[in-house]
Structure 1
Amino acid sequence: MDQQFWVSRATEIRGAGGICGDAGGRTAQKCTEVELEKAAKADDLRAKVMIKDGVTLRVTEER
């Protein structure tokens, strides 16, 4: 399901090869808002998004 959400400077963004980082790595790496937006426009990106009180706290790419 496609879902739109807002991120801020405080949002933690972690990638595992799709947003940023190495797909073969054992841990997700810290990514930027720019990398997230670029990946979301280019791919079928799957991620777990944690939102609390309307604020996106964390975006973690699912492998």
Structure 2
Amino acid sequence: MHSDAEGGPVLGLFVSVSGLAEAEEAVAKLCARAIGECPALAAFSILTCGAVLVPGPWWDGG
């Protein structure tokens, strides 16, 4: 969590899924659930949700 980022807090997560769209969807659902269920996060909203592919031994590059 980067609470002092320009434009508001930024949350970074690592997920292991088969594709970029699946990663974005999974993280968006997780964040929406957290905001909806945690009173301390009630003042927050999701403005954008994006993902990047991080090369590594778990990714074949194809």
Higher relative contact order (CA 8 A, sep 6+): 1
TM range (shorter): under 0.3
Query: Hey, which of these two has a bigger chunk of strand by percent?
Result: 1
Structure 1 length-normalised TM = 0.23
Q: Which one has a bigger Cα radius of gyration?
A: 2
